[in-house]
């Protein structure tokens, strides 16, 4: 069994709306950044548990992932007359 893939799928499923009235399979796209970070943490923690990478604290892992996450920065545009 691929435990990394299992960790990723569990992280996604734990963030799904389980309300019976909900018709969406996946979490809303507006939460994709938070969900992506949760998946990354889950996979990294599983990789460490499997001996594939160094073991670090979950807090440090969150910090490292946040540091590597792209933050959009948009230039300010002005209307040309």
Q: Tens digit of pLDDT for each residue in 25-55?
A: 777 888 889 999 999 999 999 999 999 999 9
Residue 19 CA to residue 68 CA, distance in Å, equals: 33
Residue 81 CA to residue 75 CA, distance in Å, equals: 19
CB neighbours of residue 38 within 10 Å = 19
Select the more confidently predicted residue: 56 or 17.
Answer: 56
pLDDT of residue 26: 78
């Amino acid at each position: 069994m691929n435990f990394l893939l299992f960790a990723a799928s569990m992280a996604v499923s734990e963030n799904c709306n389980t309300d019976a009235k909900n018709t969406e399979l996946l979490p809303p796209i507006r939460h994709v950044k938070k969900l992506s970070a949760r998946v990354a943490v889950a996979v990294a923690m599983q990789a460490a548990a499997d001996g594939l990478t160094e073991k670090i604290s979950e807090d440090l892992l969150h910090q490292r992932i946040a540091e590597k996450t792209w933050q959009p920065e948009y230039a300010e545009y002005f209307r040309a007359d």
